[in-house]
Structure 1
Amino acid sequence: MRRSGAPTSLLHKVAHNFFYLGCCFGCFLLGSFLSLSTIDPSVCDLNLCTRRIQHMTADDSNEWLAYWDKHALGEPKKVFLVILILTAPKNFELRNVIRQTWLTDEGPDTLHYFVIGTEGLSDEFNVTIQSEQRRFSDLLLLGNIKDSYNTLSKKLLASLVYIHKNVQFRFLLKCDDDTYVQLHQLHYELKEVPYKQGVYWGFFDGRATPRRKGIWKEENWLLCDHYLPYALGGGYIISHDLVAFVARNSHYLQLYRSEDVSMGVWLAPIELHRIHDTKFDTEYRSRGCHNDYIVTHKQTPVSMRDKYNNLQTSGVMCKDLVQVRTSYNYNWNVLPSKCCVRNDTSIP
């Protein structure tokens, strides 16, 4: 005899089974998400990511590497120029001025990121940074790098690895958040570069000596009495193949206090084209204002707006040409310590 309650009991069992299966599947998805999020390259440094990968299974590693390749950007974007702007968490005004001035010339063939280390930030700063990211979506946040002058080389290296994994491009401009760029002119100059690879372009110095005190104190420099020739960090260009070389060898590279010095060392053994260009005003203080300058370092929000407004109203960046210190042409035919003599006031 069939019991009248049997169908109801069976339905309950089926419902319970589906409930348990749903819970298991939900837990699986949550666990997978948490595993990926804990090694998201935008929130961990290179060493930490590497250590976490080493403790994963082969299948997990493959899954994560595929995730890294497509993280945040989906399929790798294809652009002509990538711009990395190293910035401090507190410098919202500088970032916003850049967005409102020279980045307005950014076309679809250009992609920019403001790079910020967020480890140890206060809750207030974190809220502010996340709000800025939601609004502009142009921050590259490195969660396991504490933002300070001491970590600039680490910030740069992590950024280059990320860009190498996620963007297809031809050239990369690294600059600071107090740098003004004539972006339209830069694009024109880049398209005239006769080399497809091995381009390291900026304002070079080969006679700088390592500092032993102060903010630039260098404790790890053992190579020679001078820094190796390097393009000054207010702004320089490197081609995609050099970014790939640095990214692929990131775990071997020594980090020095100054990121531009580090780049000079990382690229020193490579056969490449070092292009010294006086149109890069990228030293520790600006040489003045000249309309030939493509990249101008050490700018304030006011001077950036002035340059932008001048370009909009008169087509030139500088109303008056100003030279506050002389420039030089790099002599590649002598030893680096003899490279750079400021003896010609006609050089911008």
Structure 2
Amino acid sequence: MIDKKFKVVVSVAMVNLFLFIIISRSISQDKGEHHKVHVPSKPFWTKLAPSSSYWNRQQQILDFHNNHIFMTNHSHTDFPEWLNDTSLTSYPCQPNLRVTTQVKDYNSLPGRFKDFLLYMHCRSYPIMTDQPDICKEPPFLLLAVKSLVPHFDRRQAIRQSWGRAGVIANRTVVTIFLLGNATAGDHHPDLSSMLRFENAHHKDIIQWDFRDSFFNLTVKEVLFLEWIQARCSGARFIFKGDDDVFVNTFRILDFLKGLSGSKASDLFVGDVITNAGPHRDKRVKYFIPESMYIGMYPPYAGGGGYLYSGDVAARLHNVSRHVALYPIDDVYTGMCLRKLGLAPEKHKGFRTFNIEEKYRSNPCAYKSLMLVHPRTPQEMIQIWAWLSGPNLTCQ
């Protein structure tokens, strides 16, 4: 019995001695490591190489020049030549002819790409028609509609339906139409006198002197964000969309009324598209060549229409200066949101790809929706009459 106890005591002592040796070695190694100098095996900052795609390269330049650490500790003479590109801004706007040699397949690109690339650095254009007092009383909801000079019938249908300005559901609503210039080079008839008459009657048109084209919708976006801060910074919420959509203004106001403070401040909702990238098929309207852009797109709300807060509008205005213009405006807005650390929120009430055909003539199909695309001027007026009617009852 005593022999067994002795063996147990010896075993415990041996285990304790073994643990003591391991711990002692570990402590001594830690002390040695504390005084040992570690030399990194490779540089912490990798050498910045220019992207082969023009947009990506322009964004690299913007990111570099907006990095306060780099700019404080380096002089411009330290930068590689491609980082000292001075063609990022220009006012008044002049074509950047250097781009013809900086984009490898420039000469073979369609004309709309050449035009965009030549003027991609231009962000400021003269305003031709303004409404400086339209937000004298800050509206609860600002409806901003992208339109073209010839689209008088669409604007008029919106004024008579979902874009009626004034007080709706006890909330102040202001409607404006965002236009560029319909140039003779695009073979537009001269409708300037008609536009002046229209604006004198309705006083709701904002127009800038830039070529109003599909690829220049991004220009319209940044000019509008600037206009909001100058003329309508007190707007609580903003809806921005196309002139061929139907918007259920009643439903939007009802939705906004139920938002909490924090939710309202960061609001950006629409028909969100995720995991998308540029189309490489030249036959597609949204075709983008690899020489212009590589990579995936951030989540973005389809440009048919989306809803956001005045707070987000101010932040988008500030961050847009740090994002290179991109020829697809809704993707560009998604890029700006990503830069802010925000993500657009998908809402099933936004139907930018229409609803099933069998429901399109049913008034109740529109009661819970915020937006449907596309709709003709006649359809806008018809749907608005349905929703405004006192006898509409839906299950």
Supply the AA of the counterpart residue of 1:109: T
Kindly indicate whether residue 194 of structure 2 is the aligned counterpart of residue 124 of structure 1: no
Residue 223 of structure 1 and its aligned partner are, at CA, apart by 5.1
Residue 216 of structure 1 and its aligned partner are, at CA, apart by 1.5
Q: Which among 77, 90, 94 is matched to residue 150 of structure 2?
A: 90
Supply the AA of the counterpart residue of 2:156: N
Structure 1 pair 260/270, CA: closer, same or farther in 2 (3 Å)? same
Q: Which among 248, 273, 298 is matched to residue 205 of structure 1?
A: 273
Q: Deviations over 1:211-255 (max 9, x none)?
A: 23243222476352x321111111101211221122223333222
Kindly indicate whether residue 161 of structure 2 is the aligned counterpart of residue 101 of structure 1: yes
Structure 1 pair 312/74, CA: closer, same or farther in 2 (3 Å)? closer
Kindly indicate whether residue 229 of structure 2 is the aligned counterpart of residue 181 of structure 1: no
Cα RMSD after superposing both structures:
2.9
- SS where residue 115 of structure 1 aligns? strand
Residue 105 of structure 1 and its aligned partner are, at CA, apart by 6.5
Max Rg structure: 2
Q: Using the alignment, how far apart are the partners of 2:246 and 2:274 within structure 1? A: 24
Q: Using the alignment, how far apart are the partners of 1:149 and 1:77 within structure 2? A: 33
- SS where residue 193 of structure 1 aligns? coil
Q: Which among 141, 155, 159 is matched to residue 224 of structure 2?
A: 159
The aligned counterpart of 1:172 is 238
Structure 1 pair 106/279, CA: closer, same or farther in 2 (3 Å)? farther
Kindly indicate whether residue 202 of structure 2 is the aligned counterpart of residue 136 of structure 1: yes
Q: TM-score under structure 2 normalisation?
A: 0.58
Within 5 Å, give how 1:323-338 maps onto structure 2: none
Residue 273 of structure 1 and its aligned partner are, at CA, apart by 5.9
Q: TM-score under structure 1 normalisation?
A: 0.65
Q: Using the alignment, how far apart are the partners of 2:136 and 2:341 within structure 1? A: 28
Q: Which among 91, 109, 113 is matched to residue 176 of structure 2?
A: 113
Structure 1 pair 109/161, CA: closer, same or farther in 2 (3 Å)? same
Structure 1 pair 257/251, CA: closer, same or farther in 2 (3 Å)? same
- SS where residue 206 of structure 2 aligns? strand
Contact 1:231–1:264 under 8 Å retained in 2: yes
Q: Using the alignment, how far apart are the partners of 1:305 and 1:71 within structure 2? A: 26
Structure 1 pair 47/297, CA: closer, same or farther in 2 (3 Å)? farther
Within 5 Å, give how 1:248-327 maps onto structure 2: 248-272=318-342, 274-283=344-353, 285-288=354-357, 289=360, 290-291=365-366, 292-313=368-389, 316=392
Q: Using the alignment, how far apart are the partners of 2:293 and 2:212 within structure 1? A: 26
Contact 1:286–1:298 under 8 Å retained in 2: no
**How many residue pairs align between the two structures?**
254
Structure 1 pair 159/287, CA: closer, same or farther in 2 (3 Å)? farther
Residue 151 of structure 1 and its aligned partner are, at CA, apart by 0.6
Q: Deviations over 1:271-298 (max 9, x none)?
A: 4363211111123x55554232111111
Residue 266 of structure 1 and its aligned partner are, at CA, apart by 0.8
Residue 314 of structure 1 and its aligned partner are, at CA, apart by 5.7
Q: Using the alignment, how far apart are the partners of 1:47 and 1:80 within structure 2? A: 35
Structure 1 pair 50/82, CA: closer, same or farther in 2 (3 Å)? farther
Residue 81 of structure 1 and its aligned partner are, at CA, apart by 1.2
Kindly indicate whether residue 215 of structure 2 is the aligned counterpart of residue 150 of structure 1: yes
- Structure 1 residues 207-216 or 170-179, which shifts more? 207-216
Supply the AA of the counterpart residue of 1:208: A
Contact 1:105–1:183 under 8 Å retained in 2: no
Gaps in structure 1 of 5+ consecutive residues:
1-45, 52-69, 322-348
Residue 74 of structure 1 and its aligned partner are, at CA, apart by 8.0
Residue 72 of structure 1 and its aligned partner are, at CA, apart by 2.1
Residue 170 of structure 1 and its aligned partner are, at CA, apart by 1.5
Residue 104 of structure 1 and its aligned partner are, at CA, apart by 2.9
Q: Using the alignment, how far apart are the partners of 1:75 and 1:98 within structure 2? A: 19
Contact 2:149–2:182 under 8 Å retained in 1: no
Q: Using the alignment, how far apart are the partners of 1:129 and 1:227 within structure 2? A: 37
Residue 209 of structure 1 and its aligned partner are, at CA, apart by 2.7
Contact 2:277–2:297 under 8 Å retained in 1: yes
Supply the AA of the counterpart residue of 2:91: L
